[in-house]
Structures are given as C-alpha cells and as structure tokens.
Structure 1
Amino acid sequence: MTIKTLISVDELASMQGQRHLVVLDCRFYLTDLEKGARVYNESHIPDAIFVDLHSQLAGEESELTGRHPLPSAARFSEQISNWGIDLNSEVVVYDDMGGAFAARAWWMLAQQGISVRVLNGGFPEWLRSGNKVTQNLPENIVTRVPIEVSFPWLIHEEQIVTSFESNQYILLDARMKDRFNGENENMDPVAGHIPGALNRPFFDNLDEKQTFKAANLINTEFSALLGGGGSDLKMKTTNLPVVHYCGSGVTACHNILAMNYAGFEAKYVYVGSWSQWAKRMVRMLRL
C-alpha cells in the first residue's frame, strides 16, 4: 500500500469546498489539555473539525500502559464515522507543531486504508500564506457508515521484550537527545532509553519554519543513521523493520511520516513507548 504523506497549503486551499474533503485540527499541548480546543475556537481553517488527541486519538492510561494507548478499534471506528470520514474521503490533518501531533492522527487513519495527508507547516504556514481562517464551526457533518478498524502497525511491549532475544527490530527513539541520554526527564519515573535503540529527534525532520526538510536530505540523514545509503539501509540489508517509539507513542509517528516522505517504507510504532517501558522498569526494581 502506498502511503500518502504531506500536502502543501496551496494544495489544501485549492481543495476547499470539495465534497470528500475532511480537515482535522489536531492542535495539542501536553501541559494544558484544554488549550487545543481554546485555540481552535479562536481561529481555525474553514470547515476543520477539532480533534482532541488525549480523548479521541488515545484510550485511558493505566498502570500497565503508556500515557497515550490506542483507543479500542470499535471506539475509533465510531469516531471516524462521526468525523464524516469513510474510505472515499480525502483527509488532511494539521497542528501548529510541525506535524508532531497531526502525525498521530495520520498514522492511525492511514493504516485503515484512508487517504490522509499532513499539512506541511500546519496552521502557522496556513497563516503565513494569507489563507482565510474562521471561528465558525463546521456545518452539516454527515455521519458515515462505520468502517472496520484494526491497528496492524501497532507493536506491543511483549514484542519489544521478545526482540531482545530474537533480534526482530531496529528501535528508533524520536525524543530529544537529552531525554534519550537520560540527562533530563520530567515526564516519566525513569530516565534513559530502551537498550539498543537509536535516536532521531523528530524535530530533526523540520527546517526553521517547522516545515519538512527536502525529501532527499531526510533520506540522506536516515540512511546515515540506519547504516548505509539509499537502498543499502541497515533495515533493508538485514531485513529488520524499524520500530519507532518516543515518550507516549505520538511523536514517533512523525519519524514514520518523514521516512515515507523520503521514500522509505516505515509504519511500526511501539505505542507504549518510554512511558510504558519506564513503568516496567519500576516494577522490576520493586521485585
């Protein structure tokens, strides 16, 4: 399956008003869970639907999960239907953090076979380009027949543990280097990273305007990190897929987006990520 990745603000502007277009506003702020709705109500792209990452793109956290586990398949199927999305839709998702949060929606929708792209540069780029914004809520959202949902690109904690013995995956951590190196940790009870993981901070996919770097540059950077150039990536020469993770399975999706944009095949996320792994380490220390 060919995975679509990015759309420019000019392309989205030219699609405004088309019947099958669905735009999702995924702005999210980890330290203020209500802010996304507030900034959406202040202004958003016309006809965009607000998406609450914490409650609509994630299930409830427990002692055994990471901070943003996936919702149940049934719940997400209903949510997709309520957004007016079906398999004929053209979906565009955006945020104001270079796609850091919109990429989670993109990843969840893309594996359902839905045509979905991330707005390159997001809401700031839309504003810089002089496009219209509104405070009006979208009207006449037509609830669609629910589609069957599954998450074939989801990797579980047990699979990561098994991989230590069977060498099934290459792990790639999307967090900032200080958190990866255990030098700074203000979210989880343990600092550091999963043993053997490589680090690619998701912000490295972006330029100073928080739009994506050129695809060939991202290709070169991932090639160097993963061991080779072009088709000689370690992930291909060893037949090992890359499994992406981060703090809670959100910004990991940004690296998947970037790799596909740059011409590589990538799709797997360990959604529990470091927030689940740190809980595992705490439990082991108590034994």
Structure 2
Amino acid sequence: MKNIVPVKWLLARLYEPDIVIVDCRFQLGNSNSGREAYEESHIPGAVYLDLEKDLSSPIGEHGGRHPLPDIAELAARLSQVGISNESRVVAYDDQGGAMASRLWWLLKYLGHEAVYVLEEGFGAWKKAGLITTADQKVLIPGRFLATVKHNMLAEVDDVRESLGKAGVTLVDSREAPRYRGEAEPIDRVAGHIPGARNFFWAEGRRPDGTWKSADEHRERFAGLEQDDEIIVYCGSGVTATPNVLALEEAGFTRVRLYAGSWSDWISYEGNGVAVGDEKNQ
C-alpha cells in the first residue's frame, strides 16, 4: 500500500526529524471533541489540525458544509505546525481514516507526495500498548510552499458537464440509504447526483478495521473503467477522500474530488436530484 502505514512503521520512525505526525480527530456535531481528545492523550510528538478551523473554510452560500480552505492560509498553517516540503507527514484519527484522509488529500492537492494515513488510527496505537502523552510538542515552524494540482479537483460546473458523458463516472461515497434518498440526517435535500454510483467509503476497510489491499479495492470497484475519469463526492467532501485514496491504491489515475459534494450541489437551483439505486443502470 502506497498511502497507508501500519503502527509498526510509525513506531520505527517516531523520532526521525522529518516525520510530522498530525492528529485529525474530529466528531461532526461536537466540534470541540477532537481537540479535547488530543489534549487528553495523543501519539508523542503529534500536532493537531482541526477539520473545521484548519482544513476547511467558513461556510458560505455555496461550497458545501466543509469548503476547501484558502490555499495560502492552509500553507501558512501547515508551516506553523512544522510541516515543510521535505516532511513526511503521517495523519491519524479515530474515525476509520475519514478525517485523516482529508489532510492526506489536501497535501496531495498542494503537491506534497510524502503523506500517509495511519492504519486503524489512534485506537490501534493504544491497542498495541504504545505510549501516549498529553504533552504538546513545541512547534518549530517549517516552510511549506504549495504547488496546486488543479486536476485533482472538480467544481460544480465540471460535475454538471459530466452528467451523461461517456468516460466519466460519478462515485457517491455516502451510506446507501442516503444515496438512495431514503434518509437524510444532515442535508436539506435527500437523494444523489443523477447517474452517480454508490460505493460507501467505509467499505474500503475490512471488518477488523484494516484497509483493504489494492486487489481487494479493484474487486470492490469492479465495473469502473481504469481509463475513465472518476469524480468522487460525499456529503461535504470529507468522507469522499478515503474513496479517493482507495481508488488510487487500486490503480485509478484519473480521480477527482468534488470538494463541495452533495451539500454544494443542492445549494444551486436547477441541479438535478435522483433517488433509488443506479448500480445496475
């Protein structure tokens, strides 16, 4: 696996000077819980980045519930916590990789390749009996310069233009009932973008919480063409990122994130809404 590292990998490199460990724990609906958990106990040397304060912009009329952060502000924040262009970054959470994958994607989008998600997250570290601490690292600023990879991002106009277009597939990463429009606990409209196929992001992991292998991901994404352009979305652009990671593991090379996702899509009048299952259509 190119993007996932096990606890033993991180343990062996814990004190290497170019390693920056980032705690990304966050609970939707309880925005302080992640920082509180970090302050109580974290992997030694880890710094904390907050999904909403650091890895998103404020909510506006459009852009969804977690708009992408301003690039200059994010680069400055990354520098502030000690991340430079030479750093190897390991992100973790306790939500199956969903929040850590957001940082993974953002760093890739900013041109930084040496970024990894810790397999099974903080829970695996604790389960292994490894040391945790409440001590916070003295921050020594780095110098992070962004080189944005615009081809990794899809905007709402790109998604509109893709509808019904040969060679482009939309992947909805939400749970099946939300995709089908049977339930919608968060957003004001239920359903999915017309033509999208449903691959729930959490199915990229095995029942024990470990990430599936590249072969298992290829089997999971059977029916998607390797040469096609894949546009991935979820509710707000966060839990789509584990699917982007899984698609990359499976060898797909033309994968884009619709960062605004469903919550952005429904903020525009006239955008189509579909319900039901399109897997076999």
Shift of 1:131: 1.3
1:23-50 Cα distance to aligned partner (Å, 9 max, x none): 0000010110010011111111001001
Distance 2:130 2:250 in 1: 27
Q: What pairs up with 1:136-151 in 2 under 5 angstroms?
A: 136-139=135-138, 141-151=139-149
Distance 1:217 1:283 in 2: 34
Question: TM-score with structure 1 length normalisation?
Answer: 0.89
Counterpart residue identity of residue 105, structure 1:
L
Contact preservation (8 Å) 2:193, 2:272: no
Shift of 1:279: 1.7
SS at match of 1:93: strand
Counterpart residue identity of residue 272, structure 1:
G
Distance 1:162 1:215 in 2: 30
Counterpart residue identity of residue 5, structure 2:
I
Shift of 1:166: 4.7
Q: Percent identity?
A: 36
Detail structure 1 runs of 4+ shifted over 3 Å in the superposition. 165-168, 281-285
Report what 1:91 is aligned to. Answer: 89
Report what 1:33 is aligned to. Answer: 31
Report what 1:216 is aligned to. Answer: 215
Counterpart residue identity of residue 254, structure 1:
P
Q: What pairs up with 1:64-213 in 2 under 5 angstroms?
A: 64-111=62-109, 112-139=111-138, 141-152=139-150, 153-164=152-163, 166-167=165-166, 169-213=168-212
Report what 2:265 is aligned to. Answer: 277
Counterpart residue identity of residue 133, structure 1:
T
Contact preservation (8 Å) 1:74, 1:149: no
- Correspondent of 1:254 among 235, 239, 242: 242
SS at match of 1:74: helix
Distance 2:198 2:4 in 1: 23
Distance 1:100 1:279 in 2: 24
Contact preservation (8 Å) 1:259, 1:266: no
Gaps of 5+ in 1: 227-233
Shift of 1:127: 1.1
Shift of 1:282: 7.6
Counterpart residue identity of residue 190, structure 1:
V
Deviates more, 1:18-27 or 1:76-85: 76-85
Contact preservation (8 Å) 1:66, 1:276: yes
SS at match of 1:40: helix
1:197-244 Cα distance to aligned partner (Å, 9 max, x none): 000001101122322123321221112x42xxxxxxx242xxx21010
1:152-189 Cα distance to aligned partner (Å, 9 max, x none): 11110011112226546210010000000000001111
Distance 2:213 2:71 in 1: 35
Q: How many residues align?
A: 271
Question: TM-score with structure 2 length normalisation?
Answer: 0.91
SS at match of 1:220: helix
Contact preservation (8 Å) 2:265, 2:271: no
Deviates more, 1:57-66 or 1:205-214: 205-214
Q: What pairs up with 1:211-250 in 2 under 5 angstroms?
A: 211-223=210-222, 225-226=223-224, 234-236=225-227, 240-250=228-238
C-alpha root-mean-square deviation of aligned residues, in Å? Answer: 1.9
Contact preservation (8 Å) 1:156, 1:272: yes
Contact preservation (8 Å) 2:194, 2:272: no
Report what 1:230 is aligned to. Answer: none
Report what 2:12 is aligned to. Answer: 14
Counterpart residue identity of residue 150, structure 1:
V
1:108-154 Cα distance to aligned partner (Å, 9 max, x none): 10232241000011111111112111111012x22122403425111
1:72-94 Cα distance to aligned partner (Å, 9 max, x none): 11111101111211121110000
Contact preservation (8 Å) 1:44, 1:134: yes
